[in-house]
Amino acid sequence: MIESSWNIYLPSIILIFGAVIVSWSLYRGVKKVLKESADPMRALVLVRHLRTGLAGLSLVGIGAGWLGHIESLLFLSLIFGCEELYETSVVIAVLKRSLRESGQEVQA
């Protein structure tokens, strides 16, 4: 069986890109959470980096599923990634709203 080069290179790129996003998010998230002093701002920073890390983890699963021809892993990673993006976006919106109501500055 001969495979196309895009069937190997593209999932590999997606997998590597996802791993880079996960490690960057973990590094920056820990660094920023330790730097923040206000508790609500710390939660907002944590959830933002959690969202980025989960998106990267989803990309790793999509790339691994595609590369290994494991359709269930590919689709579950896609579903998990979309659900987590939605869920963390709602949490971020609630945290931003509570920070605005308490009079603290919210950074973009």
Reported as a single tens digit per residue, the pLDDT across 91-108 is 999 988 988 888 766 665
Does the pLDDT value for residue 15 go beyond 60?
A: yes
pLDDT range class, residue 64, cuts 50, 70, 90: very high
Q: Cβ neighbours of residue 98 under 8 Å, at least 6 residues apart?
A: 40
Question: Is 96 inside a domain boundary?
Answer: yes
Question: Is 91 inside a domain boundary?
Answer: yes
> Which range marks the domain in which residue 78 is found?
26-102
Mean pLDDT along residues 41-53 = 89
Residue indicated by tokens 């907002």: 44
Question: Is 21 inside a domain boundary?
Answer: no
19 close to 63: Cβ distance less than 8 angstroms: no
Question: Is 73 inside a domain boundary?
Answer: yes
Mean pLDDT of the chain: 88
Look at 107 and 59; give whichever has higher pLDDT: 59
Residue of 7, 40, 50 lying closest to 106 (CA atoms): 40
Q: Cβ neighbours of residue 50 under 8 Å, at least 6 residues apart?
A: 25, 29, 88
Question: Is 85 inside a domain boundary?
Answer: yes
Q: Where are the alpha helices (DSSP H) in the chain?
A: 6-35, 39-67, 71-102
pLDDT given for residue 106 in this prediction = 62
pLDDT given for residue 61 in this prediction = 96
Look at 105 and 22; give whichever has higher pLDDT: 22
Question: Is 2 inside a domain boundary?
Answer: no
Residue indicated by tokens 């959470």: 33
Q: How many domains would you assign to the chain? A: 1
